[in-house]
Amino acid sequence: MRVSHPRRLLVLFMLLVFIVPTASFAQIGISITIGPPPLPVYAQPLCPAPGYLWVPGYWAWGPYGYYWVPGTWLLPPGVGLLWTPGWWGWDGAAFIWHVGFWGPHIGFYGGVNYGFGYFGHGYDGGRWENGNFFYNRAVNNVNITNIHNVYNTTVINNKVSYVSYNGGNGGIEARPTPEEEAAERDTHIGPTSVQTHQEHAALTNPQLRASVNHGKPPVAATPRAGVFNDHGVEPAKDAGGTYRPESNVPRPPNASGVIHAKDLPPHQRGEAPKTGDAKLDQKYQDEQNKLYDKQEQEHQQMVQQQEREHQQAEQRNASEAERQQMEQRHQQQTQQMEERHAREQDHLQARQQTRGGGGGHPR
């Protein structure tokens, strides 16, 4: 498990967008004057099992502008850790994406009201007690038949805002509190491999692009990572504000609008839970490495297959209709692979934490 301190990533581009992998997540800052769309209005899916924590959705940036990464329930990388969401901020010259992180305390997330306990400062959705996570039913969708670690504390949130960035024209003017500044100095863990797969799956889905959904994504939240077609998926009820078309969205040369397997940022290896038993920890990490190798092999095989089909289409001078069908197939293949990989990673993490016995995790 790689540990890092929070940092800001800024990539200036003229004609091309470069997706920059970091130790924890592939995210970018962008030198454009248009901020992300307002946060969509959506409901929270039902928490799938004890130990899962809510990670709110957000607008990310890709080759075709902003796209929505659905909020989801997922397992934290360790007991006692809480998620501080990433956030967009204007620094006077560009919008910067501040990567989210796991840590013992909630840090600053731009004052953005992500909802469901993340109302701009701190977190009112739950707390850790004696190695178990307790959910605040007042702000979370929890079935008390299956989850018994609950409490009910009303949270007064008078200022409802769907603005998705800090600073700049129309942005939120919040600044870090002393407690949030102290949390920034904690040791942090970046987004997990499950979160990375969730973002990559969203990147491959054209319906999640703001230019297509106009700020109202059809998949706003998922009950688990990679589950984009489940009956528990929540669509956006409405856009959180007026959508402004992005006039300077970068368009790669000869762009087809399709994200192919070769366009995906690098993946990271999964993180095995720490049990205190060196032999068991090694076994779990070997399982994570095995899954990583399998998924990387599938990824490379798809890259090669899609490249062969492109070459074959060129050689036989395929018609425009045939090329469109091929590209549509490639889009679906890439999207389905990323969704499947996210589900596989989530299932392995859940199995390992169940067998390892970590408090507050599924049993």
pLDDT tens digits for 101-146?
999 999 999 999 999 999 999 999 999 999 999 999 999 999 999 9
How much is the pLDDT for 250?
Answer: 56
Mark out the alpha helices in 204-267 (DSSP H runs): 210-213
Over 70: is that where the pLDDT of 318 sits? yes
Number of domains in the chain: 1
How much is the pLDDT for 184?
Answer: 92
How much is the pLDDT for 193?
Answer: 92
- Length of the chain equals 363
Q: What confidence category does residue 6 fall into, taking pLDDT thresholds of 50, 70 and 90?
A: very low
121-133 CB burial, b ≥16 within 10 A, e <16: bbbbbbebeeebb
- Give the number of other CB atoms < 10 A from CB of residue 193: 25
Over 50: is that where the pLDDT of 291 sits? yes
241: DSSP letter: S
**Does residue 15 or residue 239 have the better pLDDT?**
239
Comparing 51-55, 58-62, 149-153, 156-160, the range with the smallest average pLDDT is 156-160
pLDDT single digits (tens) 189-214: 999 999 999 999 999 999 999 999 99
Structural domain contains residue 255: yes
Average pLDDT of the residues of the chain: 85
Structural domain contains residue 271: no
Structural domain contains residue 147: yes
Over 60: is that where the pLDDT of 357 sits? no
How much is the pLDDT for 89?
Answer: 94
Specify the pTM.
0.83
Phi–psi pair at 352, nearest 5 degrees: -65, -40
Cβ(221)–Cβ(202) below 8 Å = no
Q: What confidence category does residue 232 fall into, taking pLDDT thresholds of 50, 70 and 90?
A: very high
Structural domain contains residue 222: yes
Percent of the chain exceeding pLDDT 70 equals 85
The boundaries of the domain holding residue 77 are: 8-262+276-356
Q: What confidence category does residue 247 fall into, taking pLDDT thresholds of 50, 70 and 90?
A: very low
How much is the pLDDT for 18?
Answer: 34
320-356 and 193-203 helices cross at what angle (nearest 10)? Answer: 160
Structure tokens at 206: 């054209």
Structural domain contains residue 269: no
Structural domain contains residue 363: no
Please name the amino acid found at residue 117: G
Structural domain contains residue 185: yes
How much is the pLDDT for 135?
Answer: 98
How much is the pLDDT for 28?
Answer: 46
How much is the pLDDT for 251?
Answer: 57
Over 60: is that where the pLDDT of 304 sits? yes
d(CA 122, CA 182) in angstroms, rounded, equals 13
Structural domain contains residue 351: yes
d(CA 58, CA 71) in angstroms, rounded, equals 7
